[in-house]
Structure 1
Amino acid sequence: MTNAIYLEVNTSKEDYQSSKIMKLPLESLIIYCIYVHCNPEDMILNFVYTSTKLSQESVALQDENLIVINEKDVPWQIMCTYPVVMFNDTILAGLCAVARHICKFITRPHSLYEHEEGLLGFRKSCLQAPNEASIWTKFCEVDIIRTVKEMFSTASLDKVPKNLVRFENHLRKPVRMHNVYKIAREINKGVLKVSEADAEKTPVKEEDKNDKNRVPKSRKWKSNTKKDIDIDCTTKIKDLNISHQYAEGPFVTLADLVLFPSYHIIVQFFGGSFESLFPYSYKWYKNLLNTLELKSLVDKISKLEIKNTIMECNAIPETEDVSLYKCDPKRHNPKKRLFTKEDDIIKALSLLQNDMELNVDDNKLDCNINWADVPDGANPTAGHLPDERVLRKSQQLENLALAVLSVAQDGDIIVDFCSGSGHLGILVAHLLPNCTIILLENKEQSLLRARKRVHEMGMKNVLFFQCNLDFFVGNFDIGIALHACGIASDLVLDKCLHAKAKFVLCPCCYGSLHATDRLAYPRSYKFSNLPINQYLCIGHAADQTHNDHPLTVRGAKCMAIIDSDRGHLAQEFGYTVTLTRLKPLSCTPKNNLLIGVPS
């Protein structure tokens, strides 16, 4: 069984062998520390020396037993930014995805401070949501790491980084977790102990350390909850007084391990002023330091060479006074919602010029797939979808699969971006057995369902990538996406353009388009004079495509406008672009089909 981790380092194999000191990026350090703490079974840790210039935010780590390899020795399937895991036919990329994978092979005994289901918490869901959808995952995987790198890259700080304030606010707020009332009742009844001092005095017997299957003892909790409070669902969460001993509440979770190396560096940056500036963060940090099971992790991090940064000012920036929980009620502000008004749509459409819209061509692809010959794993009729969706889904898949067949060649690498449970990609893999199909999806459960179906069919030309779009950096020949929501369609298009790959796209959710640090709207030079507000207004109107609706015709026109902008962008990259529609149109309201072939 292949189960290997690949981390980027800036020290060559020869230099490491002579010095036993390694320079590595922060993401590699975090995964290394989690690996040391979990001590996963049958998992190989490889450090990959890259020829990229040594970055300022690299840190030095001293360890005598690490494996360093060159990039040429990395399997070709590793087509993602590090850190990466290769687990048989599945590639996992991204800090949180790799960290979660390590936890599934943990050999360290269960800690008294962990949730009964382990470091991944209730239903193994800790840091499961991708950073595009989860404020908390984004903070752990992107925001705090960006803050540390910014601190590395500057000689002095004139104000406290905003993300440190956000985490401090989070720790001050009430704990929001599954079964919070049940936990509070157990504390109230004395079922769970509340003395932190007792917890620190509780030794772990040597036989328990070696017994992986032992039943965990009652956890020790710290809470100010009074025993005489009658707790029910009407009690306000803030009155439960369950404090943030750790990042997600009263349990040590994977999130603590992900955040700890960054905060260890941050504490060194601030020195003695950190406790006065961030008392709750410092308490959390000390709680982790005092957790017996983290001592090996602390010992490794203590060998870091921390760069000194001069703190010129301790000014605290203003930030939203909310927790990092997405469900925090203070986060919802109806005033920030965007409503599309009829006059705005009319005004936006009036700004269009005659040559801006692409012609919507007739779909000339002959729908000739014999579904009776398609095996169950690649066939929507096999029970993988509700009955009412089977016909429409079959029609959607047939349109895109035939478009791929019209541009594919033997030996092509085809990436099904945002593949979900693999309906499109698996069908294409069946129809093109001489091509390699990559199913790329950031949702673990969806990809597992696809993997199960492929294995049951015995297919050998499919690989699985669990990662965000931006982590994939490999070369490929065709990119496909069926109903990649909102900006995901544009991210897929950009991947194809920069790889000079053909694309077959059926976009979706035009109303959720928004400018990001990676995307600017409008996309093309042809549309560049259209103001962003009017452009997004047209995007909102493009979602008005429901059946038997008076605005359906205008909605279809607005869809064509947004996709024309995408098509013009591809033409600027030298592509021949065709904009057509799925047939029959009734198979989905979002029925545009954008096909591009590089010249």
Structure 2
Amino acid sequence: MELSVEVNERSSSEAEPRLLKCPVETAVMACVRSYVEMQTSAPTTTTTRLETHPAGNGRLWMRLPDALESDVSDYVECRLPAVRQSSASSSASANPTGDSQVQVRIRVQHLSGGLSAAARRLAKASAAVFESPPHHPQGLLGFRGSCLHAPNETSVWTKFCEVEMVETTELLVRNLLSHSAHFGQILAERHLTQPLRIHNVYKFARRMQHNQAALDQRGDASQPVAEASRIGKNRKWKSKKAVLIESSTPLKDLGLDHEFAEGPHLTLADVLLYPCFYLIFHILNLDRLSAHLPETVRWFRNLRSRPRFEKLDDFLSDVCRLTFKDEFIISDSVEYLMPDVENCSLYKCDPSRDRSKKRVFTKDVETALGFIKQGLEIDLCKTKRQSKIDWSSVPDAANPFGGHLPADRVERKTQQLENLATAVLNIAKDGNRIVDFCSGGGHLGILLAYLLPSCQIVLLENKEQSLSRAQVRVEALSLTNVTFVQCNLDFFTGPFDIGVALHACGVSTDLVLDKCIERKATFVVCPCCYGSLHTTDRLQYPRSAVFSDVPIDSYMCIGHSADQTHVNHPMEERGVRCMTIIDSDRAQHAMSNGYSVVLSQLEPKNCTPKNMLLVGVRV
């Protein structure tokens, strides 16, 4: 297993040649690795090393851990830090010279990119060493292994841990003379003061009440109530007399505090956040901030008292000594400015979170369509695609008929794959690198890998379970031309020649198109979820200058109407036109960047309600 992080080596003329200059993410990842200690329950032959980059722009000096080797890679596949895992297996394959079977050695490359995905990969390799307390009974990844599982585009919590706190820390490291408490610290304080929101919170509160009662009976009320004092199921404590907590009790009255970042158990999120706050408190003075951020300081000191964090403290203390040289001291006369932020937790389901958003009503669609001038919509190509796939010769592991899908989806999925795969087969050349964005279980990418053995296929997906299912199928097929990359779509930085995406939801389709345009790569995409389009820090709508006169509210209304395309829906015909309008805007955007674009529909049209196909080739 290779731990890849962005660093910048100090020149050999320096007094300490083993020092690295790195961004905050590298220090965080080094702490994660130190915490999990790479212990596994089974022997492994994998290795861990740092891939350094001379162009790194970090500000923290870090002493290279003895267990890691420095290496410079030619390019990286995704945003660092990243964990690269190689696994080898043997598979039986037919001998081309006879009927006998030969053993084929398959080596699978799996890359997890981005802070959360990389940290989760390390934690999963070491899950067996974490026992409660204070960890969750199911390990460092928490309940059902869901800690930091959701991508930061959809999860408020992952975005806070992976992006906002790192950016806050980086900002302070770069600008030491700014003493205002930044956005990230205040968000953390607000979160820790809010009621606990965990799975079965009332059941947990009753258990804690029962444990406290047991301690009181033993005359040991001074002992803190924790999971360590858990008592096995006892039917007596479930009696009406013992149970004082009802399911209607407000969460704030349960008496449960945030002992750790995600609640009563220590999880990977605590390990990620700890290095950031260590650096922040070193710069801004822990004792001075305790009056302004009492809950955050309490959380920090609680972690600091835990045995495993002593090792992290030694490492971070060394980072601060090397970076700041103990010369930076904040005067007692300095006043801290506390920005005003929303008083809510970082739980996505928190009802106190501001969800004020102008609703889009499709009843206004006729008014919206009035802004679409003649000539804006691209004519749909009517040319029939000639299939080049003989499904009878495709093995089960690459074939929807192989039992990977429910029976009612098999035929439609086969038709969808045939449309996109045929388009790629007409374009691809030997040696091309093809990325299947938002690949899911790899239906399209694995089919392409089988049909195009001379091409390299990358399955890009942020869900671990989906890639795990795909890996089983790849190994069953003995494919040697597939690489797995687990990261957010916008974290992918590797080179490629063709980008494909089947039903990439909402803005994901536009992120794929932008990736392809950036790399001057051919694209074959079938969009989905037009109604979830929204402006982001990276995407503005309309996408093209040609559609710039269409008001944003009208554009979003058209997008919502584009989702009304189900068979026999009364608005089906209008929905198809709205899909055509949105995809015409996407096509115009690509054309303005030097592409020739063909817009058509999948065949047969009823294979999916979202049946538009965009094929773009760089002119």
TM-score by length of 1: 0.89
Distance of 1:341 and 1:104 partners within structure 2: 45
1:446 aligned to 2:487? no
Q: Confirm or deny that 1:304 pairs with 2:319.
A: yes
- Classify 1:155/1:18 alpha carbon distance in 2 versus 1 (closer, same or farther; 3 Å): closer
Gaps of 5+ in 1: 203-215, 221-226
Residues 102 and 574 of structure 1: CA distance in aligned 2, closer, same or farther (over 3 Å) = same
Q: CA deviation at 1:71?
A: 2.6
Q: Residues 51-200 of structure 1 correspond to what in structure 2 (within 5 A)?
A: 51-52=54-55, 54-55=57-58, 58-63=59-64, 65=66, 67-72=68-73, 78-88=76-86, 89-106=109-126, 108=129, 110=131, 112-157=133-178, 159-190=180-211, 198=223
Counterpart code for 1:298 = D
Say yes or no: does 1:518 pair with 2:538.
yes
- How far, CA to CA, are the matches of 1:433 and 1:109 in structure 2? 42
Counterpart contact for 1:13–1:68, Cα < 8 Å:
no
Q: What is the Cα deviation at residue 62 of structure 1?
A: 3.2
Residue 320, structure 1, aligned to residue 342, structure 2: yes
Q: Does 1:35 align with 2:33?
A: yes
User: Is 411-420 or 457-466 further displaced after alignment?
Assistant: 457-466
Alignment partner, residue 235 of structure 2: none
Give the secondary-structure state (helix, strand or coil) at the position aligned to 2:139.
coil
Q: 1:155 to 1:36 in 2, by over 3 A?
A: closer
Tell me how far 1:193 sits from its aligned partner: 6.4
| The one of 274, 282, 298 aligned to 2:289 | 274
Specify whether residues 139 and 265 from structure 1 end up closer, same or farther in structure 2 by C-alpha distance, changes over 3 A only: same
Whichever residue aligns with residue 59 of structure 1, its letter is L
Q: Out of 146-155 and 443-452, give the one that drifted further.
A: 146-155
What's 2:367 paired with? Answer: 347
SS at match of 2:70: strand
Distance in 1 (CA, whole Å) between partners of 2:423 and 2:607 is 16
- After TM superposition, give the deviation of residue 63 of structure 1 in Å: 4.8
Alpha-carbon separation, structure 1, partners of 2:335 and 2:16: 41
| Correspondence for 1:380 among 383, 400, 417 | 400
**Number of the residue aligned with 1:212:** none
Q: 1:462 to 1:273 in 2, by over 3 A?
A: same
Q: CA deviation at 1:293?
A: 2.1
Structure 1 residue aligned with 2:20 = 22
Q: CA deviation at 1:419?
A: 0.3
- Find the aligned partners of 1:93 and 1:349 in 2 and give their Cα distance: 41
**Structure 1 equivalent of residue 103 of structure 2:** none
Determine if the alignment matches structure 1 residue 285 to structure 2 residue 300: yes
Measure the CA separation in 2 of the matches of 1:14 and 1:196: 59
Letter in 2 for 1:330: S
Counterpart of 1:246, as a letter, is: F
Call closer, same or farther: CA 1:394–1:82 in 2, change over 3 Å: same
Report the secondary structure of 1:465's partner residue: strand
Residue matched to 2:513: 493
Aligned to 1:414: 434
Deviation of the 1:338 alpha carbon: 1.4
Identity score, percent: 44
Offset of 1:414 from its aligned partner?
Answer: 0.5
After superposition, give the CA deviation of every residue in 1:282-306 in whole Å (9 maximum; x if it has no partner).
0000000111221111111111236
> C-alpha separation between the residues in 1 aligned to 2:377 and 2:335?
53
TM-score by length of 2: 0.87
- List gaps (5 residues or longer) in structure 2: 87-108, 232-240
> 1:135 and 1:51 mapped to 2: Cα distance?
33
**TM-aligned CA distance change 1:435 to 1:171, over 3 Å:** same
Q: 1:15: Cα distance to partner?
A: 5.8
Kept in 1, the 8 Å contact 2:275–2:316? The answer is yes
Given that residues 176 and 283 in structure 2 are in contact (C-alpha distance below 8 angstroms), is that contact kept between their aligned partners in structure 1?
no
- With 324-333 and 407-416 compared, the bigger mean Cα shift is at 324-333
Could you say which residue in structure 1 is the equivalent of 2:249?
235
Distance 1:487 1:193, change over 3 A: farther
Of the three residues 597, 608, 615, the one matched with 1:588 is 608
**In structure 2, do the counterparts of structure 1 residues 17 and 505 end up closer, same or farther at CA, with 3 Å as the change threshold?**
farther
Distance in 2 (alpha carbons) for counterparts of 1:559 and 1:142 = 33
**Equivalent in the alignment of 1:260:** 274
CA contact (8 A) 1:363 1:582 kept: no
Post-superposition Cα deviations, 1:497-540, rounded to whole Å, max 9, x if no partner, equal 11111000000111111111111111112122222222222211
- 3-state secondary structure, aligned to 1:400: helix
Between the aligned partners of 2:130 and 2:538, the Cα distance in structure 1 is 42
Query: Do the aligned partners of residues 519 and 193 (structure 1) sit closer, same or farther apart at CA in structure 2, a change above 3 Å counting?
Result: farther
Cα pair distance change 1:196/1:440, threshold 3 Å: farther
Q: Could you tell me whether the CA contact under 8 Å between 1:84 and 1:98 is conserved in 2?
A: yes
Q: Distance in 1 between matches of 2:512 and 2:337?
A: 41
1:52: how far off?
1.6
Equivalence for 1:50:
53
CA 1:528–1:16 in structure 2 vs 1: closer, same or farther (change >3 Å)? farther
- 1:158, distance to aligned residue in structure 2 (A): 6.7
Aligned residues: 570
> Given the alignment, which residue of 467, 471, 485 partners 2:491?
471
Q: Deviations over 1:328-361 (max 9, x none)?
A: 122374x535122423x22322222222221111
1:382 CA displacement: 1.7
Equivalent position SS for 2:460: strand
Matches of 1:397 and 1:595, distance apart in 2: 15
